[in-house]
Amino acid sequence: MTPAQIEQFFAILQAANPQPVTELEYTSVFELLAAVLLSAQATDVGVNKATRKLFPVANTPQKILALGLEGLESYIKTIGLYRSKAKHLMATCRILVERHGGEVPRTREELEALPGVGRKTANVVLNVAFGEPTMAVDTHIFRVGNRTGLAPGKTPLAVEHQLLKRIPAKYLVDAHHWLILHGRYVCQARKPLCAQCAVAACCRFPAKTPA
């Protein structure tokens, strides 16, 4: 994709959705962190279903710890890998209470030091909660970056670096949401909806491969 095509690509996405938001449901930074931690290899819909029951009962590190491991598991058992996620979330809550006064830290280093929190999760929290221009490359963004020619790369980190380098600064804060939503609903893995795609003219995919 040329710089002109990239500008057009994001201008179109912005016009269609001026204020994009995550589809994970949360009302605090901690709820967001917990939801993102639980969302690994799971759908936002599935996570929301579980947290709608969990958060009214326990939506702070202290309250999660008070539930105990089995108590926490009982709320999130519908989510894939729930046992390991429960252990990670409990350990994260303990660190938040002991080292951060129960607050979610604002630096990548401190976030990535939390159990179960990798670069992608840290990027989501930094972007969504704190408004930083980070790029959390999930399967959707990885696919869109490669398929469209926007940011080709063999690894999520390579795609992340390409996106940060190529996306105009004015679009960066919201680009993460636009790309995820585009990959989730239009540029789908098996059958991309090229005929319905508003940014098809900027994309290298339709010209080379039949939809």
The CA-based dihedral angle spanning residues 87, 89, 91, 97, taken in that order and rounded to the nearest 10 degrees: -150
Q: Write the CA distances from 208 to 100, 157, 197, 203, 204, integer angstroms.
A: 51, 26, 16, 10, 7
Q: Is 120 designated active site?
A: yes
Domain of residue 45, CATH code: 1.10.340.30
Catalytic residue among 120, 170, 174, 208: 120
Would you say 38 and 199 are in contact if contact means Cβ atoms under 8 Å apart? Answer: no
User: Quick check: 209 pLDDT over 60?
Assistant: no
Catalytic residue among 44, 53, 63, 138: 138
pLDDT tens per residue, range 118-145: 999 999 999 999 999 999 999 999 999 9
Q: pTM for this structure? A: 0.87
Domain that residue 115 falls in: 29-128
Q: Is 138 designated active site?
A: yes
User: Quick check: 210 pLDDT over 60?
Assistant: no
Among 107, 128, 149, identify where a domain stops.
Answer: 128
Among 102, 128, 154, identify where a domain stops.
Answer: 128
